[in-house]
Structure 1
């Protein structure tokens, strides 16, 4: 059996929604790093984070199925609302989610994470980007 660990729901939702919802200050990115490192079992380079976030989101949805349906309200990511209004709407949504689901979740690490050499993965991404040809 693998060891699980508790993480704040706000931090978990930062991974699953792609929005920075963590309440950690002054380094909110540390919340994402901590979850991704725990779940993958390795310290990741910044360019590995999107692949890890995709894998972790899938696993988090499997571990806690309600997360798949727990989406921020429409209009809080790309709307003409002011920054303060978006932040207030997200905080209200997060507070409501915490009342319903609790403030922390037990998370299991990934069992199928595929380690890739950081340098090789970066070079692969650069090669893929070079292959993308923009239409003239």
Structure 2
């Protein structure tokens, strides 16, 4: 599959764990689109963390400067939003608003139901005792 360009803000949403995409009204669709392209499959929401880890590693391998793009720390919601916006615009001015990325070379598809069960620690769930 050929490389595809995605907005830097969307890619940084994956690598930083912060929802930086400018897509509205459904910003989560940006992540869905990246994950589907990168993995070649439509993922369930509980598969997103595994996809994010794999994609982050791939993005950094393809564009090493992403490893150094760390969002600034700021407190207060309005100050934090302004600080992140300025940081993002600065990153886009330096690196461009879009980056071409190749899909994952090695993605192990898993059964969605089994992957969800694997993530649930059944032994740590509270047990309801009738009459107690």
* TM-score scaled by length of structure 2: 0.91
Query: Higher Cα Rg: structure 1 or 2?
Result: 2
- Paired residue for 1:85? 79
Structure 2 counterpart SS, 1:21? coil
Confirm whether residue 99 of structure 1 aligns to residue 98 of structure 2.
no
1:54 and 1:118 mapped to 2: Cα distance? Answer: 17
Spell out the pairing of 1:7-22 with structure 2 (5 A cutoff).
7-22=6-21
Confirm whether residue 43 of structure 1 aligns to residue 35 of structure 2.
no
Question: Structure 2: which 5+ runs fail to align?
Answer: 126-132
Confirm whether residue 130 of structure 1 aligns to residue 129 of structure 2.
no
2:96 and 2:89 mapped to 1: Cα distance? Answer: 10
1:103 and 1:7 mapped to 2: Cα distance? Answer: 8
Structure 2 counterpart SS, 1:106? strand
Deviation at 1:124, TM superposition (A): 1.0
Following superposition, which runs of at least 4 residues in structure 1 exceed 4 angstroms of deviation? none
Aligned mate of 1:111, from 86, 102, 105: 105
Please give the root-mean-square deviation of Cα atoms over the aligned residues, in Å. Answer: 1.2
Question: Structure 1: which 5+ runs fail to align?
Answer: 76-80
Deviation at 1:125, TM superposition (A): 1.0
- Paired residue for 1:57? 56
CA offsets 1:38-79 (integer angstroms, 9 cap, x no match): 00000000000000000000000000000001010123xxxx
* TM-score scaled by length of structure 1: 0.88
Task: Give the number of equivalent residue pairs.
Answer: 125
